[in-house]
Amino acid sequence: MSLFPIKQGLFSYDVVDHHAILGCPLDATPQEIRKSYLNIAFQLHPDTSKASNDEERALAAKLFSKFVNPAYEVLTRDNDRKEHLLVLQQTVSNLAGIGEPTFSSGESQQLRGAKQNLELVYRKVVTPLGKGLYGDFKTVFPKIAQLSEYNLIFLMVKGEIGSSPPVYQKSVSPKETLTPVALERSPQAQNIGSAPNATASPPEAISPFEKSLRRAQENFDRRQYDKAIAELKSALKTDPKNAQAHCLLGMAYLKNNMMTMAKVHIGSAVKLAPDDPKVMAAKKELAKHTSVGGSQGGAKSSQGGLFGGLFGGKKK
């Protein structure tokens, strides 16, 4: 059996839920994280744990060294904690269109329907479960799994509240296709459905989604990667399955030496469009950057070529 046999909540999507491991909510303060860690250290320490035999004592030592300590190290470093939360949020965002997971417990269903008082209900179900998390080695894994399920639901509902349309609404419309030429509506398309004296204003030739991508490309070309990242994150709320947006966002993260996020988004692009030349180039660039440790101040691909003018901007 695996040392950490959990396939529930965020763990089921191949990410490590450090907050669930420490038994603290996703919005926990640094002080709350430290308090949880100290409580767990007390529960797992050889002199104070409830381990009744050598097997349990060995498990306690492994849990502490392999999972609890690494989780605490991530969550106590500000940049690492923010990056970890971004990975969790993006993981949940990538579930759009797949269909909602099934939640059986009453607490999970209650949390799923809590939009007016989400934070209050979330804390109400997480806090009791986090207390004494490692006190009983027979229940530690199921408890961590349930905490991670609550974290998954919290991020789902949070995304729905902050996004329009809801993040988990299944999309039946075709994906927008971006080309390196100016996107304009033909006269025939503009006349479809038009009527004399119509009060509604005509639709824009370029959608807000495409405008965000173009602005992101311009910022990328100017090496203003933080601005490009902000634009692309906003664009992906509208179309979370757009391979080119994930591709460029991954490259922007790569330029900023944020390797974890670069892997998340380039990986998403590869899953969505594995044969796209730009995606293949990004995958190759990521592999090259990873192989040298990412210590040369960001990816070294030129601003032109495949990534310059990715969405129709001028190549440099």
Q: For 146-192, what is each residue's pLDDT tens digit?
A: 999 999 999 998 888 764 333 333 333 333 333 333 334 444 434 43
pLDDT score at 175: 37
- pLDDT band at 289; cut points 50, 70, 90: confident
Share of the chain above pLDDT 70, in %: 75
Q: Are 259 and 288 in contact, with CB atoms under 8 Å apart?
A: no
- pLDDT band at 300; cut points 50, 70, 90: very low
Top pLDDT among 42 and 316 is at: 42
Torsion of CA 212, 218, 223, 229, to 10 degrees: 10
- Residue 134: what are its φ and ψ, rounded to 5°? -105, 20
Query: Region 218-243: what's the mean pLDDT?
Result: 85
Which of 208, 202, 168 has the alpha carbon at shortest distance from 185? 202
pLDDT score at 27: 92
Q: How far apart are CA 265 and CA 245, in angstroms?
A: 9
Q: How far apart are CA 129 and CA 105, in angstroms?
A: 14
Q: Are 240 and 96 in contact, with CB atoms under 8 Å apart?
A: yes
Residues in the chain: 316
Q: How many CB atoms lie within 10 A of CB 226?
A: 11
pLDDT score at 154: 93
Q: Which residue has the tokens 């997971």?
A: 101
The pTM of the full predicted model, rounded to 2 decimals, is 0.57
- What are the b/e assignments for 302-315, b being 16+ CB within 10 Å? eeeebbbbbbbbee
CATH number at 178-194+204-316? 1.25.40.10
pLDDT score at 121: 93
Q: How far apart are CA 227 and CA 69, in angstroms?
A: 34
- pLDDT above 60: residue 295: no
- pLDDT above 90: residue 93: no
Q: Is the peptide bond before 165 cis (omega within 30 degrees of 0)?
A: yes
Average pLDDT score, the chain: 78
pLDDT score at 162: 67
Amino acid, res. 219: N
Q: 72-81, 137-146, 185-194, 241-250: which range is least confident on average?
A: 185-194
- pLDDT band at 144; cut points 50, 70, 90: very high
- What residue spans define the domains of the chain? 9-162, 178-194+204-316
**Token pair in block for residue 1:** 């059996």
pLDDT score at 293: 53
Cα–Cα distance list, 313 to 36, 214, 216, 234, 316 (Å): 49, 7, 10, 19, 9
Q: Which residue has the tokens 């950490």?
A: 4
Query: Region 210-220: what's the mean pLDDT?
Result: 87
Query: Region 62-73: what's the mean pLDDT?
Result: 93
pLDDT score at 314: 44
Torsion of CA 171, 177, 183, 187, to 10 degrees: -70
pLDDT score at 302: 42
pLDDT score at 149: 94
